Amino acid sequence: MKKMNGKNNDKKIGQIKKRPFGIGGSDANKLVHDNWLDLYNLKLGITKQDDLSDILPVQMGNATEQFNREWFEKQTQLKPTQEIQIWYNDYIYGNLDGIIKGKLEEEISTIAVFEAKHTNQFNNSEAKKLQQVDKYYPQLQHYMMCAKVNKAYLSMFFGNLNYDYLEIGADKDFQQKLLLAYDHFWKAILHKDSKEINTTWGEFHGITNKSIELSN
């Protein structure tokens, strides 16, 4: 295992059928890595969400998610819950693959976020794993912020031959930048004014291009 240093309400445990109207974890990835206007158009229904039902890598991830939980538990003795939806406020939420509970200050509390991924076998190297962390870093920080925890586990299958899990720590500075971006973006959504959108990510662009060291 490699370690990376770097109004809340549990609405539902179990399979999440539909994404609510708000900013979720995958939106965090899009706001950091992609064009804001694309997400703006999706949120307001100007463009349609891509149909992923025939995209094999996406469906492989969905199909192996439960096995990923079980394999992670076998490797770590930590048991993730099923999917859970947690709200940070009235428009920021997370559809988490799971949370991990443990003893904290003599009480059983949420101690970490669990995120399951299935990627290809060619990503099974130290450099490629760092690229996976960079890819999902906004999403993981978003989930930690929603769950109010300081740790996330990124559990990954590489093809059908290799597995690893990575521990990522909370980055409070990054989370604050996300919140500032969310506030700006959501005001544009509410006002239906695309002129308020910084479509190139502006001063926020590149904040995930940090050196995240892998340590044993």
The CA-atom distances, in angstroms, between 118 and each of 16, 115, 154, 192 are 19, 10, 10, 36
Catalogue all structural domains in the chain, each as residue range(s) with its CATH number.
2-15+24-192 (3.90.320.10)
pLDDT digits (tens, 9 = 90+) for 163-216: 999 999 999 999 999 999 999 999 999 999 888 776 656 555 554 444 344 333
**164 is written with which tokens?**
């690893």
Residue 45 has pLDDT above 90, yes or no: yes
DSSP state of 23: B
pLDDT tens figures, 23-41? 999 999 999 888 889 999 9
pLDDT at 3 over 80: no
Phi, psi of 4 (to 5 degrees): -100, 130
The rounded distance, in Å, linking the Cα atoms of 49 and 57 is: 17
Q: Tokens in use for 143?
A: 């989930």
Instruction: State the number of CA atoms in the 13 A half-sphere of 2 facing the CB.
Output: 20
pLDDT at 199 (0 to 100): 61
